[in-house]
């Protein structure tokens, strides 16, 4: 007796099996992608092999290069143009002492322990003494953006400094102060320590 069922019904089972296989493949692919994501970013083998002492040395070399390539005060004055002069030695040394005795550099080092830089400072000498001091950004160079914290801090501190006319005639002076990285003050990492081994446990 001939069947009254439509012919397409016979193809349902193979279609279902094919669909299950396709879904299974998609799940497997998603699983592999998730496993790949969970593995995390790849670690630079060169960075992983860098010892703390070697890293410190590289940071020190970079800081020295920044200090050595900063514009000298004479060049800063020349670029600023007429009306600016290089600050007298007494003025430079006094401002340097005041700047280094603030907590400004430490504020920058809290963000970047290897911070170093050269700060150019504008000091305007009037007939009553220095009436304005501020960081001359165009002649200032730091090893990192943490130096901006030092600049802002110095600008605030210099508002309270009082310098009379003994430091020079009325003029617009530029002096420079260097802040160097003190790697000796950084915490030392002991790379010679041996791994701790757990004592063997006795079997019952």
Segment among 52-61, 69-78, 139-148 with least mean pLDDT? 52-61
Q: Give pLDDT tens digits for 92-106.
A: 999 999 999 999 999
Q: Of the segments 11-15, 122-126, 187-191, which one has the largest average pLDDT value?
A: 122-126
Q: How far is it, in rounded angstroms, from Cα 7 to Cα 100?
A: 93
Is the distance from CB of 57 to CB of 146 less than 8 angstroms? no
The owner of tokens 């009082």 is 162
Q: Rounded to whole angstroms, what are the CA distances from 88 to 74, 123, 145, 154? A: 12, 11, 30, 20
Q: In this structure, what token pair is assigned to residue 138?
A: 């165009």
Q: Give pLDDT tens digits for 112-133.
A: 999 999 999 999 999 999 999 9
Q: How far is it, in rounded angstroms, from Cα 22 to Cα 2?
A: 35
- Domains within the chain, CATH numbers bracketed: 73-180 (3.30.1150)
pLDDT at position 60 is: 83
Q: How far is it, in rounded angstroms, from Cα 90 to Cα 166?
A: 9
The model's pTM is 0.65
Half-sphere CA count of 57, side-chain side, radius 13 A? 5
pLDDT at position 201 is: 60
Half-sphere CA count of 80, side-chain side, radius 13 A? 21
pLDDT at position 55 is: 84
């Amino acid at each position: 007796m001939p069947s009254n069922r439509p012919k397409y019904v016979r193809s349902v089972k193979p279609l279902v099996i094919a669909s299950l296989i396709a879904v299974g493949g998609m799940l497997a692919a998603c699983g592999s992608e998730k496993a790949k994501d969970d593995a995390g970013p790849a670690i630079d083998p060169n960075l992983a092999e860098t010892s703390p002492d070697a890293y410190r040395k590289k940071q020190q070399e970079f800081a020295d290069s920044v200090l050595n390539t900063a514009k000298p005060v004479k060049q800063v004055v020349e670029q600023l143009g007429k009306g600016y002069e290089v600050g007298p030695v007494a003025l430079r040394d006094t401002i340097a002492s005041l700047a280094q005795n603030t907590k400004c550099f430490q504020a920058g080092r809290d963000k970047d322990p290897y911070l170093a830089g050269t700060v150019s400072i504008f000091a305007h000498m009037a007939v009553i003494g220095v009436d304005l001091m501020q960081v001359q950004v165009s002649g200032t160079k730091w090893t990192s953006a943490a130096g901006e914290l030092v600049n802002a801090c110095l600008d605030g501190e210099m508002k309270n400094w009082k310098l009379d006319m003994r430091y020079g005639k009325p003029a617009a002076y530029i002096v420079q102060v260097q802040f160097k990285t003190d790697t000796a003050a950084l915490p030392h990492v002991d790379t010679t320590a041996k791994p701790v081994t757990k004592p063997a446990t006795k079997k019952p």
